[in-house]
Chain A
Amino acid sequence: MSHRNTILIISEYSDISTRKVFDYLNHLSSINVKIITPHEKVFIETIRVSVNRKKILLKCNNDVINFDNIRSVWYRRGFISSVPFPYDTIHKLEKQINTFLSTEWEKITSFLLSISQLEPGIFLLGSFEHERHCNKLINLHIASSIGLTIPETFITSDRLSLLNFSDDYELLATKPVSNVPIFSLGMKIYSGGGTNVLTKSDIKDLPQQFFPVLVQEYIDKLYEIRVLFLKGDLYAMAIFSQGNERTKIDYRNYDIDEPNRLTPIELPQSIQVKIREFMNKLSLNFGSIDLIYSKEGKYVFLEVNPSGQFDWLSFNCNYNLEKRIAKILLNET
């Protein structure tokens, strides 16, 4: 253990939580901390795949990263950049080659970031695989199979079946199956926001057939709950947006004038147990989970984000999660 004197963090350049954890790591120990962001190009010196002669050596900004020395890896968010691809992208064929090469690179980095599963000496927090391949539909399915309540969920390309579905519910909501879309054209950036209400008349305006959309029953809530799951422990915060039309749908549409009230909340044991089971099933030891507490008094699971933001949760509930994470990475808990 003693020779493992390095902690590797994969993150984005401006991530505030990374910065705070980094400060705690330096404050609490003299361990080496190496942060890799997409700004740094990573050069692979050696990856040797064999059972008894495993070896991984990376170079990043003149630093050599030897996996023999790594105590833990935190996949916080972002990706690892490769050295530049050899081709320019003007020619059609070369473009295709580059696309192929980036798939190659993705597999290599994905292997690097799951190494700790193969190498028991290294502790891995977070999951690159899940961040890449997180699927809301699969997750909803798993959650409901465990016994967590989920909103009635429906995907269709057909107006008539959508109308039929909508008959059973007072109000519907729609949201992307993947991520919140961001489009840019010239200098302008267009973003669709998170969740939107879908009314009956919206549906009537649709053509007979359309590209498949995800539709859920709209659940009237008393408050939303954000949970950070951290290696088996749950840290939860209630978000009261009540009486505030603007944030009724999704708290990501921040309301500056009248901020939502944020307050720590302790989930009932039965829900905690199910969330742990859910995360175990996904093999996730880190993730931020969205729930709502409905007017009927039900905890409804919405989604899990394997690399979600937790800075405001940590701050507003005074959880000091950054220190907890630093201690977990140092293996001092």
Chain B
Amino acid sequence: MNESLYPLLYSSCIPVKGANKSIICDLQNQCYIHLPNELYDIVDTLGEYSLSQYRSANDLETYLLLEKYFFSLEENRFLFFTHTPKMFPKLDFERWDCPSLISNAVIDLGTSIQFNLENVIDDLVNMGCQYLQIRSFDTLVLSDLSYRLINARIHLKDINLDLILKYYQGCKISQIKEFADLFPCISTITFHSAGFEKFYEISSHIKVTYTKTVIIDETHCGKINSEHFRANMTAFAENREWNSCLNRKIAIDKNGQIKNCPSMEFSYGLITERSIREVVLNIPEFRDLWRISKDKIQVCRDCEYRYICSDCRAYLEDPLMKPAKCSYNPYQGE
């Protein structure tokens, strides 16, 4: 091995240090590996020293261990050796942006209030919304939903639509197919309170799930676990500066209140009295929560998963507390 070479991580492999443990996020392959904190500083400063510098700065035994570690990282394609480490800049996450004023939305359809869903979708599309979840805790028959959405069909084509509905007897597959034909933007339909578990795909991109889980209200949301970690470029970049759940989100709760998310207590007004567009454009406070990145949140800021984790700002006494439904303790590493 030529000792004038510098070991260097590929730019998409990014070490993140936690209070007790560290990880290296591999944004290209969308995964991560664990790393003891003792090695973090070495991994974080890779590219600054050549192998011969490592050799002269350490006793032989330590050096050989380091070398072995570098080789194993190389074998797993996290690391390469180069003479010109300065030519490989780190990824610049300042550039993160998305072409939407609102990128995702949740609409809960309740029985206590009726409003014009089509106008809301118009507004969402005009603000660049790419993802919409429509949810119902009580029975909502597909044909009724399709009736409320039908005039927004053309607009919906640019949105990914997920439906979470209460299971009801008599909802045939043929009806689901009919619905999906009308609204090709659908990507998943989940029936909660079904009493049985079943999953199938009605076409290459539409998944239907039946689950026993009973969802009576919005409080089912907000659980944090490693299944929801997203170690990808976009999420990682966004999470450095922005809130991992609420950034560019808007919601209408089951009572027609316009909120940051249905579980938040604060309402910006009733959808029958003002438009979501008005709220986004004219109420500056509406965007305050977007700025609460993980680095600002207690505990999370010391957690190695902070840039790949989701977040939840609901059910909290203090807006800067760690999510209520996270059971991980980064100080103990478990």
Asked whether A264 and B99 contact (CB < 8 A) given A259-B29, A316-B28, the answer is no
Partner of A263, one of B12, B29, B97, B233: B12
In the bound complex, how far is the Cα of B109 from the Cα of A121, in angstroms?
Answer: 51
In the complex, chain B residues whose CB is within 8 Å of the CB of A132: none
How far apart are the CA atoms of A36 and B100 in the complex, in Å? 23
Is A39 close to B, CB under 8 A? no
B-contact 0/1 string along A192-211, CB 8 Å cutoff: 00000000000000000000
CB pair B88 A27 closer than 8 Å: no
Q: How far is the CB of A326 from chain B (nearest CB, A)?
A: 8
Question: Do B88 and A264 touch (CB < 8 A)?
Answer: yes
Q: Is B10 a contact of A320 with CB atoms below 8 Å?
A: no
Residues of the B chain whose Cβ atoms lie less than 8 Å from the Cβ of A259: 28-29
Chain B, residues 115-156, CB within 8 Å of chain A (1/0): the string is 000000000000010000000000000000000000000000
B155 CB to nearest chain A CB (Å): 14
A259-B29, A263-B11, A266-B89 are known; give 18 further A-B pairs, CB within 8 A: A23-B128, A26-B128, A27-B100, A261-B10, A261-B28, A261-B77, A262-B28, A263-B12, A264-B89, A265-B87, A266-B86, A315-B233, A318-B93, A318-B96, A318-B233, A318-B237, A319-B95, A320-B97
Contact size range, B: 20 to 34
- CB pairs A–B below 8 angstroms (28 shown): A23-B100, A23-B128, A26-B99, A258-B77, A259-B28, A261-B10, A261-B12, A261-B77, A261-B80, A263-B10, A263-B88, A264-B88, A264-B91, A264-B92, A265-B88, A265-B89, A266-B87, A266-B88, A315-B233, A316-B28, A317-B91, A318-B93, A318-B96, A320-B95, A322-B99, A323-B95, A323-B99, A326-B99
Interface presence of A238 (CB below 8 A): yes
Q: How far is the CA of A262 from the CA of B233 in the complex (A)?
A: 12
Cα–Cα, bound, A297→B77 (Å): 22
| Contacts of B81-106 to chain A: CB distance below 8 A | 83, 86-89, 91-93, 95-97, 99-101
Asked if A23 meets B233 with Cβ closer than 8 Å, knowing A261-B80, A263-B11, A263-B88, the reply is no
A229-267 to B contact mask, C-beta < 8 Å, 1/0: 000000000101010000000000000001101111111
Specify which of A238, A315, A316 is in contact with B88 (CB 8 Å cutoff).
A238
What residues on B are CB-neighbors of A319 within 8 Å?
Answer: 95
Complex Cα spacing A263 to B95, Å: 16
Report B34 CB to chain A, min CB distance, Å. 21
Give CA–CA (A319, B93) in the complex, Å: 9
Most buried by B among A261, A297, A318: A318
What residues on A are CB-neighbors of B12 within 8 Å? 261-263, 316
A34 to B237, CA, bound (A): 31
- Min Cβ gap A25→B in Å is 8
CB under 8 Å from chain B, chain A span 316-333: 316-320, 322-323, 326
Distance in Å from the Cβ of A74 to the closest Cβ of chain B?
Answer: 16
Bound: A227/B97 CA distance, A: 22
B101 and A27 within 8 A (CB): yes
Partner of A264, one of B11, B83, B101: B11
Give the distance in Å from the alpha carbon of A258 to the alpha carbon of B10 in the complex: 15
- Chain B hits for A297, CB < 8 A: 83
**Residue from B12, B29, B97, B99 having most chain A Cβ neighbours under 10 A:** B99
Chain A residue contacts of B80, Cβ below 8 A: 240, 242, 261
Chain A residues contacting B101 (CB-CB under 8 Å) are 27
Minimum CB–CB distance for A104 against chain B, Å: 37
Q: Are B99 and A23 in contact (CB under 8 A)?
A: yes
Closest residue to B29 on the A side, CB-wise?
Answer: A259
A82–B17 alpha-carbon span in the complex (Å): 59
Residues of B within 8 A of A130 (CB): none
A20 on the B face (CB < 8 A): yes
Q: How far is the CA of A262 from the CA of B29 in the complex (A)?
A: 11
Knowing A26-B128, A264-B91, say if A240 contacts B100 (CB, 8 Å). Answer: no
Residue interface mask A296-328, B partner, CB < 8 A = 1: 010000000000000000011111101100100
Question: What distance in Å separates the Cβ of B228 from its nearest Cβ neighbour in chain A?
Answer: 22
Closest residue to B100 on the A side, CB-wise? A27
Q: How far is the CA of A26 from the CA of B10 in the complex (A)?
A: 35
The answer to the question of A24 belonging to the interface, with a C-beta cut-off of 8 Å to chain B, is: yes
Q: How far is the CB of B130 from chain A (nearest CB, A)?
A: 9
B128: A residues at CB distance < 8 A: 23, 26-27
Contacting residues, chain B, for A28 (C-beta < 8 A): 99
Return B216 CB to nearest CB of chain A, in Å.
37
Q: Nearest-CB distance from A117 to chain B (Å)?
A: 30
Q: Closest CB of chain B to A18's CB: distance in Å? A: 13
